[in-house]
Amino acid sequence: MGIGLGALTFVFLFGSGPPGLRNLLPPTGTASLYWISMVLAPMFPGTAWNDPEFRASTPRSLGMHPQRLLAYVVLGLLIVALLFAVQSP
C-alpha cells in the first residue's frame, strides 16, 4: 500500500501540469492516506501498535510507539507543506 500510494503521489505531483494549489491537493491527499490509516487503525477492536509480547521491548519516544510518532510527524509535514503552498503567490 505504501509503495502504491507513493508512486501514485509522484504521478499526481509530476504529471498534473504546472505547480499550484489545485495541482497539489490530490498528491497531498494521496500521500497522507497511508499515514491517516495508520493513525486510525487502533480504533478497530483488537488492534494495537504492536503485539503484546513485544510491548516491553519496544522503545517509546515522547511516550508514543515509534510508528505512531512517525505518522504524526509525516502528517504534520504534509500539512505544513500544503500551508506553505497556499501562502505562496
Q: Where are the domains of the chain?
A: 2-87
At 76, the pLDDT band (50, 70, 90 cuts) reads very high
Residue 42 has a pLDDT of: 86
Confidence of residue 16 (pLDDT cuts 50, 70, 90): low
- Over residues 34-50, the pLDDT tens digits come to 889 888 988 889 887 77
Q: Are 17 and 23 in contact (CB under 8 A)?
A: yes
**In a 3-state reduction of DSSP, which class is residue 89?**
coil
Asked whether 47 and 68 are in contact (CB, 8 A), the reply is: no
pTM of structure = 0.73
pLDDT (tens digit per residue) in 21-33: 677 788 888 888 8
Q: Would you list the DSSP string of 32-82?
A: HHHHHHHHHGGGSTT--SS-GGGTTTS--BTTB-HHHHHHHHHHHHHHHHH
